[in-house]
Amino acid sequence: MHAESRRMEEEKAQLFAEISHELRTPLTAVQGFVEAIRDGMVQDEALLKRYLDTIYTQTIHITRLVDDILALTRLESGDVTVEKLPVDLVPLARDVVISMEAMADSKNTSILFEKKTENAVVLGDVDRMEQIIRNLLKNAVRATENGTVKVGVGVRQGEVVLIIEDDGIGIAPEDLPHIWDRFYQVKNQRGGYLQEKGSGLGLAIVKKLVQLQDGSIDVTSKLGEGTTFYIKFPSYNPK
């Protein structure tokens, strides 16, 4: 018990250190730009606009970080209610695909929805299920340019299988085990616009949400070829 509580204290200290580090970078940038403007060092109209845009983008990033930290902390603390109601993943996944088409289009990427079954009903929380699919699809589209993202829903051996496959940049073997870690982001991935920068907490949240709904999630990837996520949930068959 003693060792257990010490381990929890250490984990908490580690988490606080990580959060502080993550927030410090954008806060320092905001502070620097605001100081330069306040001290009258930015006279050029166009430059001023650029600085203000950067400040704005950084504050958005800080907000996203704080929102995701709160969400993950709540999920890990165990005091969240995840509903267990029948949810059909076929129309749900299709709707998420439709909502992401514009974003994919802007990267000359198409999203294909592959329905391998009429219905794929699982027990879960529809909003949480949507969050899972949206997060994975966003990652896939972000990693892909002039390519294809496939979203498949099927039923196999009493399980609903959701597959999200992209032919984007892929993940190196040394990075792959770490993508689930909070704040982990693969370095040197191209297309790293600040505007699209996530919190690095997406997959940690996704994994927790999948587990809370009795599912499992796996990934395979090859650098330069693409990435595939496999999510399985027990299929629900009302008697």
Ligand X SMILES: Nc1ncnc2c1ncn2[C@@H]1O[C@H](COP(=O)(O)OP(=O)(O)O)[C@@H](O)[C@H]1O
Residues that bind ligand X in the complex, under the rule CB under 6 A? 139-140, 143, 166, 168-169, 171, 179, 184-186, 189, 198-203, 227
Q: Which residues bind Mg ion (CB under 5 A)?
A: 139, 198, 202
Residue nearest to Mg ion (CB): 202
Half-sphere exposure of 17 (CA within 13 A, CB side): 6
Q: Which of 215, 197, 185, 201 is nearest to 76 (CA)?
A: 201
Q: Which is nearer to ligand X, 62 or 140 (CB)?
A: 140
Q: Are the beta carbons of 101 and 117 closer than 8 angstroms?
A: no
Q: Which is nearer to Mg ion, 65 or 121 (CB)?
A: 65
Q: Which is nearer to ligand X, 123 or 219 (CB)?
A: 219
Residue nearest to ligand X (CB): 198
Q: Which is nearer to Mg ion, 119 or 185 (CB)?
A: 185
Backbone angles phi, psi at 16, to 5 degrees: -60, -40
> Strand ranges (DSSP E) for 71-137?
85-88, 110-115, 121-124
Q: How far is the CB of 192 from ligand X (least distance, A)?
A: 9
Residue 199 binds which of Mg ion, ligand X, none (CB < 5-8 A, kind-dependent)? ligand X
Q: Are the beta carbons of 23 and 17 closer than 8 angstroms?
A: no
